[in-house]
Amino acid sequence: MRITVEQLAALVGGTVDGDNNAIIHNYSKIEEATSGCLTFLANPKYTHYIYTTQATAVLVRRDFKPEHHVSATLIRVDDPYETLAQLLNHVSSMQPSKQGIEQPCYLASEVPGDAYVGAFAYVGKNVTVGKNVKIYPQVFVGDNVTLGDDVILYPGVKIYHGCRIGNRCIIQAGAVIGGDGFGFAPREDGTYEKIAQVGIVVLEDDVEIGANTTIDRATMGATVVKRGTKLDNLIQVAHNVEIGENNVMAAQVGIAGSTKIGNHNMVGGQVGFAGHITVGDNNGFGAQSGIPNSVGTNQRILGSPGINAMDFARQQVYLKRLPDMARDIKELKKAINNPANDQQ
């Protein structure tokens, strides 16, 4: 890729402060950029790098006002991060698209002529495959699965029987969709009887599932991930969970069975949700929070058990003071138990 700053700015609707004719041929982080690179400034914590970066051009907000001289050309846009995402997607779309069927593979169902099926892939009976689907090597697609248009299944993905994958879903390597939910009934003798898991998993349109994430099939009915939700790597979603639209969840989140999560929630890494609870919309959960009870809307939760973020911050202040408080209490007890010492 080679493009001038002027051409790039026109592509993203930006305005240029600096050299319109400078050539961009690569992308990089602001602290690592070299000549010819485009980078971006979205997080204020990285502002100091803009004065030392070797990048040729930097995407910044339209109202950005440098406090010192900036040698790089500035491209002013409404949202640098979103603009960078659009540019990277544009570059990615220019890459050659895989098509055709590699051998050996096993196809018990028809696939469209524009599909790609990699070597050692398995596609079972009565599978519906949409347009422009890409099934990479060593993928397993069980019987009666539905794959929508533009679905991408990266190497080693496993989709069990009956599951439904919507349009434009991306499932990263090693993810398992539709494995049995963790259902066992205790017997009187202390052993456990397996409960058959006869439901399915439904991923609606534009869902992305990270590498080695597992989404269990429902005991009955469906485990559902709704439109636009993005799950990171190594996440566990248990049976009969419902995750709403446009949620984002970082790595190692765990959601226990039958929990219902609303829309537009942001969930940090290693957050754990108890089973059979309800979470509303527009909440933020800090990393390693434990959520044992239902949560409303528009809340910011930290800690385990999770509490309001402001209350959590106050608790941390008091925790730091605990050694001093313990010492003071010890001295007070000593004074109370030995009043004569104070009179001497």
Model confidence at 91, in pLDDT bands (50, 70, 90)? confident
Do 291 and 327 reside in the same domain of the chain? no
Mean pLDDT within 107-135 = 97
In a domain, 312, yes or no: no
In a domain, 313, yes or no: no
Q: Which residues are marked as active site? A: 239
d(CA 130, CA 132): 7
Do 132 and 271 reside in the same domain of the chain? yes
Q: What is the pTM of this model?
A: 0.88
| Residue 84 DSSP one-character state | H
In a domain, 11, yes or no: yes
Do 125 and 71 reside in the same domain of the chain? no
Do 264 and 148 reside in the same domain of the chain? yes
3-class state of residue 300 by DSSP: strand
**Res. 344: pLDDT tops 70:** no
Do 332 and 210 reside in the same domain of the chain? no
E strands, 90-162, are 100-101, 106-107, 116-117, 122-123, 128-129, 134-135, 140-141, 146-147, 152-153, 158-159
- Which CATH number covers residue 127? 2.160.10.10
CB 24 within 8 A of CB 8: yes
CB 118 within 8 A of CB 100: no
User: For residue 338, what are the domain limits?
Assistant: 318-343
d(CA 248, CA 225): 11
pLDDT in tens, 273-307: 999 999 999 999 999 999 999 999 999 999 999 99
**Res. 340: pLDDT tops 70:** no
Given this model, what pLDDT does residue 228 score?
98
User: What backbone torsions phi and psi does residue 40 show, to the nearest 5 degrees?
Assistant: -145, 155
CB 124 within 8 A of CB 109: yes
The total of structural domains in the chain comes to 3
Given this model, what pLDDT does residue 342 score?
54
Which residues partner with 201 through β-bridges?
223
CB 297 within 8 A of CB 279: no
Q: 53-67, 281-295, 315-329: lowest mean pLDDT where?
A: 315-329
Which of 62, 93, 124 is where one domain is finished?
Answer: 93
